[in-house]
Structure 1
């Protein structure tokens, strides 16, 4: 096998290898030159150039500084050098962004000068000059729009990252900001009502007194032992705890009265002597048979 022949040392280097490192610099220079042209056109629009200088005349001349040959070609040429020749330059995204900014500034200033110039020509009754000037400027606007659209397409397809859209909520899923089911209450339990079952005061069936019921927090390991719960003897009413809700008032007692207030009962006391009726109405009265015959 024979090795491939090496090129002679005095062979010319391809031109692309020589100019490739200069593409980024050339693109930056093109954008800088266009920015200077736009700045000069803005100065000429604002500053009068002589005693016969009018706003309409300055607007007509400055239009071609904002939407002219330089303003159309230089930005799109810089973008093509940076992105369409392999490899893409490292600052290609920045170059595209600057080109879009220059096109936006040219569109605003060019539209403003066109409006001022058309209104001034119509006010001076220069209809022929106004019609021909509008046609010529419309052609320049079309060329400007094509170049700006090319740069916008490159930016939209290669460097623009769209923001992620929020996913629409599915029916049945909790919305953000609301507690999820089961966060504050037990499953199947309405808010504000305790779940049915053995309360803390009575032990469960088959469980000795003094032991904690399932679901209740146990006493801490290092604290004093809790006293066993004692139940009152059979037949003696249990004393309700202090935190229990007050019982319903007796029948006939107003709701605003104190539960511990003693309300006198109406009627006779159990130990009060009931007065008897008069002697004639006594059921144990003796009747004489002789009196009844008379």
Structure 2
């Protein structure tokens, strides 16, 4: 089991931001991720929110061991050609410590901030598939030309390529069958926050959440089998905590119960949000740090 954290990009670098990323490394987290949005849901929508790529570049400069990544980037406002160039640069700056968390995006603020109407679910899924495929090509070839339904590249050059070979790892977010096939085909990891129907039900229980997550794991296994990837060859399974009914950060014991139960479902990486007061991610910092340093040893 790996334990990682997700640092929301709300901190000014000179007013605590630098120290958060350094502390994430000191605490021994496997990866420190950040969200890749232009803005996010309330209460964060009306407060400070910084860009993921420059934040990760700065984090790479003040850390040396912890892996870094997005959780997740999406086609909502990203283009695969420019994102590939930024990822190669981040991978170089970090000396090969970048993971790309990638998802289809949602119909929230990021979907309309560029002045267009939000895509239909079908178009979003189509775009996501082409986006992931083209990114994979851009990051593994020196020169790429592509003319697709939604995206194009003309003589796009990406020398010297990623430090990590053949490219930096993808953590593909998915819950439906099409997304699962993308994760099975292109992902070194698969990531989920849980089942939407459970997450949107205020009366849902932790047991219901785990039952739904078990079904997702089964769908991933089916997709991997269809792609010819065996159980030992499939993507790692990442759970971004903080959205299911569980009170993961109440105590070390609560975390151990949570991680153990989800480890038995097949998850091998748990991501905990760095505590933020007055938000859904509020938690006692001392308890959080005890979880980081003691939690896995108690599993």
- Please classify the TM superposition score into its range, dividing by the shorter chain length: under 0.3
Q: TM-score, normalised by structure 2?
A: 0.19
Q: Highest Rg: 1 or 2?
A: 1
Q: TM-score, normalised by structure 1?
A: 0.19
Structure with bigger strand share is 2
